[in-house]
Structure 1
Amino acid sequence: MDLSRCRCRLWRELVLLASLLARGILQASGQIYISPDSLTGLKGFRTILILENATEDAREYSWHRGTNGTADNFIVSYKPPSHSWQTGPMYSGRENVTKMGDLTIRRSELNDTGNYTMRVDTGNGTQTATGWLEVQDVEGKPDIWANASSLVEDMDSVAAICYTNATNVKWYVDYVQVSSNDRMTISPDLKTLVIHRVSRYDRTLHCAIESIPEILQRSEIISLTVNYGPDSVWLSTSPDIFKGVLSAKIGSQVMMECSATSKPSPRYQWIHNGSLLSFSEASVTLPSLTLEQTGRYRCVVGNPVTQLTMYREFQIQQQPQHIPVVNKGFYISGAKVVWLIVFTVLGGVYVCGILIYALVSHFSTRCLLPRVEGGVLAGDWVSRALPQEGKAKPGGEGTS
């Protein structure tokens, strides 16, 4: 067990308890005092010694360096009635008194550490308060180094080192705090950052330390140049291309333009029927198309840094002088629609009449023709089968 650590902790707790008790006693008695929370300053930052329990009828607030308020250690004072300030021999040009009686020290230095005494003149008497100011030194801003600043997207990596003795180092990429992930690795001591496969959005790098809570000290910013592309190539022409073919009349103007996203700006080349043309711009205009200028064209876009190349192809062909106009749709005028409906109805009625006539004729013929059964007409068989009236039945009997 570390007894020294326990004693140190106990001592701090006792000091804090004594400070709280003293503050409570001063508040209860109405005595002015310097807020203990304001008695800690940082080198290079503004320090404010806050006066508590100050009376509203104060005639003068005066601050002194040391444990007593003498003229020799007088710093600065403020008189509310006349709104005037006065400086003394201990004034360094960085001190001032607010209208509430607080002492402000701009760009605090280590030698500002020490006792400060406040005197308040109320007209009926003078109140004094003394406090010990501790100005602490903060670690300077860290240095940063990177092994490269010009990179190729998705191909190169960059490693950066933060030079500092602090242990709580934070890393920022494009001003956003980052941590280890699939694309970035931060060393266990937090002082090295490696970005694998840099992206075009990795524009800046810097590190920061937090030696004092909520106060960040940032390193210099390293700018990264990430080269990328060309991305997809876009082609625009006049007249427009349809299914890879640009039809234009001989003698007409033809405009062609390529575009692509790239860093640095891409280089353009135009190839006509396999031959490299002298054009090196993204846009090319043929003022008067000739027969020799027809054929296959290719726009080549290349990035000299990433060594990536993309292209688009199309065909320029001669448009016939007389092109028959073909309607893309089928249109019928109103009068034609009426005649078409009439002919359709009449044709349907005619066909239905023919079918009805044929059916009627068929069934009528079947009903009129006698049936032949066993070589004898059906009607004749009936007449034979029925006994004729007035004739004797077989066996010699007559009809009744």
Structure 2
Amino acid sequence: MMFPTGCLGENLQFPEFNGATGKSVVLAPEDPPYTSLQIYLITWTFGGVTILFSNAAGTSVSPDYEGRVNLDRTTAALELKNLRLNDSGPYRLTVTTSDLQNHAGQPSLKVYETVSDTTLIGPQESLIEDESSVKLTCEGSGNITSVEWMKNKNPLTPSNRITYSYDNRSVLISSVIRSDSGEYQCTLRNPASSDTANLRLFINYGPEDVFINGPNEVDSGRPVSLSCYAISVPSASFIWRFNGSDTGVTTNTFTIDKSDITHSGDYICTAHNDVTEINVPQRHLLVVKAGGGGGGLTTGSIVGIVIGVLVAVAGIFGLIFYFIKQRQHSEPGIKIAETSTIYENVDFKK
């Protein structure tokens, strides 16, 4: 069968194509001018060797590409599967259409070895704030052209504490602080593939800001609860001492079901971090007042009783004075002695 041949023009435009070993790529021209025309013949070649040609009778594929190629007869796009490194290079497409025109173009393909087996290697030991430094290293296989670092899904920015190696494969974090905790991610890339690994860092610190929550004064018979708190990673453990003696209580709460005066004194809660090995004590003074527990008198009651007694005493003295005055009027010879005469005959030297 004879096909018309017109002027062969390099009028097909292609972008740059990148592929990864074992993957697929589609070599398709950009906005081909023949999609509305009938295509008589499509030919794809690589390195001067025909990959395939296709006409109205069917498509013939070279034995070397059997099972590795697909053709879209509408756009003349070539899908190349199971890519190999030696598939890199210039390809050529020629299309003959029903308007007696030949259209041609030459795309280029670069095949990269697929990035795989990415691992983010970090420290095995526990990290302590202001003491430890961290080196993170990103390793993997394949054709690696760039490395990207992230922390908590944001770019890991260099600083006076965070420095990168010359090839960007390692990061050094000096004198870690608590905000360095989080999920770190490294991504190894080439133009055709990428692979990512993650590692979570925990920075240990504390205990700090230790405080005890509870009453400083309580009536006898009342229950008492003292709670000890601390900022610490990992969580702090607690030891309670009372007036210098170990209580055996190792929770953050010290409880007295029914208090009495023997519970008055100094309570010391010591917060301990098993990783940093730091101990921070906190002191709390508790006073248990006697007469509590519902059987004693309140301060208001005591004041009322005292006032009542004073009023009664004043009334009694008033009555005595009244009766003496009355007797004085009935018996004129009787006088009320002045205070000074009472002590005239008393010898204070005895």
TM-score between both structures, scaled by the size of structure 2: 0.61
- 2-structure distance, mates of 1:185, 1:217: 23
- 1-structure distance, mates of 2:226, 2:115: 58
- 1-structure distance, mates of 2:185, 2:39: 49
User: Which residue of structure 1 lines up, in the alignment, with residue 135 of structure 2?
Assistant: 159
Offset of residue 209 of structure 1: 4.9
> Partner amino acid for 2:110?
V
Instruction: Please tell me whether residue 57 in structure 1 is matched to residue 57 in structure 2.
Output: no
What are the within-5 Å matches in structure 2 for residues 181-200 of structure 1?
181-200=159-178
Q: Between Structure 1 and Structure 2, whose CA radius of gyration is higher?
A: 1
Distance 1:97 1:44, change over 3 A: same
More helix by share: 1
Match of 1:69 among 25, 45, 53: 53
Match of 1:231 among 197, 208, 218: 208
- Asked if the contact 2:91/2:109 (under 8 Å) is kept, the reply is no
- Asked if the contact 2:32/2:75 (under 8 Å) is kept, the reply is no
Q: Deviations over 1:330-376 (max 9, x none)?
A: xxxxxxxxxxxxxxxxxxxxxxxxxxxxxxxxxxxxxxxxxxxxxxx
- 2-structure distance, mates of 1:296, 1:206: 50
User: Which residue of structure 2 lines up, in the alignment, with residue 259 of structure 1?
Assistant: 229
> Partner amino acid for 1:73?
V
- Asked if the contact 1:149/1:225 (under 8 Å) is kept, the reply is no
Distance 1:263 1:107, change over 3 A: farther
Offset of residue 152 of structure 1: 0.9
> Partner amino acid for 1:53?
P
Question: Which is bigger in relative contact order (C-alpha 8 A, separation at least 6)?
Answer: 2
Offset of residue 58 of structure 1: 5.2
Distance 1:98 1:157, change over 3 A: farther
What are the within-5 Å matches in structure 2 for residues 230-309 of structure 1?
230-237=207-214, 241=215, 246-309=216-279
- Asked if the contact 2:10/2:103 (under 8 Å) is kept, the reply is no
User: Which residue of structure 1 lines up, in the alignment, with residue 122 of structure 2?
Assistant: 146
- 1-structure distance, mates of 2:288, 2:206: 35
User: Which residue of structure 2 lines up, in the alignment, with residue 136 of structure 1?
Assistant: 111
Q: SS of the residue aligned with 2:299?
A: coil
- Asked if the contact 1:96/1:105 (under 8 Å) is kept, the reply is no
Offset of residue 155 of structure 1: 0.8
User: Which residue of structure 2 lines up, in the alignment, with residue 220 of structure 1?
Assistant: 197
> Partner amino acid for 1:160?
L
> Partner amino acid for 1:69?
F
Q: SS of the residue aligned with 1:36?
A: coil
Q: SS of the residue aligned with 1:69?
A: strand
- 2-structure distance, mates of 1:46, 1:260: 57
User: Which residue of structure 1 lines up, in the alignment, with residue 25 of structure 2?
Assistant: 47
- 1-structure distance, mates of 2:137, 2:277: 30
Q: SS of the residue aligned with 1:201?
A: helix
- 2-structure distance, mates of 1:258, 1:325: 34
- 2-structure distance, mates of 1:108, 1:317: 83
Distance 1:166 1:281, change over 3 A: same
Offset of residue 307 of structure 1: 0.8
> Which is further off, 151-160 or 182-191?
182-191
Instruction: Please tell me whether residue 319 in structure 1 is matched to residue 289 in structure 2.
Output: yes
> Which is further off, 293-302 or 38-47?
38-47
Q: SS of the residue aligned with 1:233?
A: strand
- Asked if the contact 1:248/1:318 (under 8 Å) is kept, the reply is yes
> Partner amino acid for 2:299?
P
- 1-structure distance, mates of 2:211, 2:77: 67
> Partner amino acid for 1:154?
D
- Asked if the contact 2:27/2:79 (under 8 Å) is kept, the reply is yes
Distance 1:200 1:60, change over 3 A: farther
Offset of residue 266 of structure 1: 1.2
- 2-structure distance, mates of 1:131, 1:219: 34
> Partner amino acid for 2:264?
T
- Asked if the contact 2:234/2:273 (under 8 Å) is kept, the reply is yes
Q: Give the unaligned 5+ runs of structure 1.
A: 1-21, 28-32, 76-88, 327-400
Distance 1:319 1:166, change over 3 A: same
Distance 1:115 1:296, change over 3 A: same
- Asked if the contact 1:69/1:118 (under 8 Å) is kept, the reply is no
- 2-structure distance, mates of 1:279, 1:149: 31
Q: SS of the residue aligned with 1:232?
A: strand
Distance 1:248 1:180, change over 3 A: same
TM-score between both structures, scaled by the size of structure 1: 0.54
> Which is further off, 130-139 or 164-173?
164-173
Aligned residues: 274
User: Which residue of structure 2 lines up, in the alignment, with residue 371 of structure 1?
Assistant: none
Offset of residue 280 of structure 1: 1.4
What are the within-5 Å matches in structure 2 for residues 359-398 of structure 1?
none
- 2-structure distance, mates of 1:162, 1:298: 48
Offset of residue 158 of structure 1: 1.7
User: Which residue of structure 2 lines up, in the alignment, with residue 397 of structure 1?
Assistant: none
Q: SS of the residue aligned with 1:305?
A: coil
User: Which residue of structure 2 lines up, in the alignment, with residue 351 of structure 1?
Assistant: none
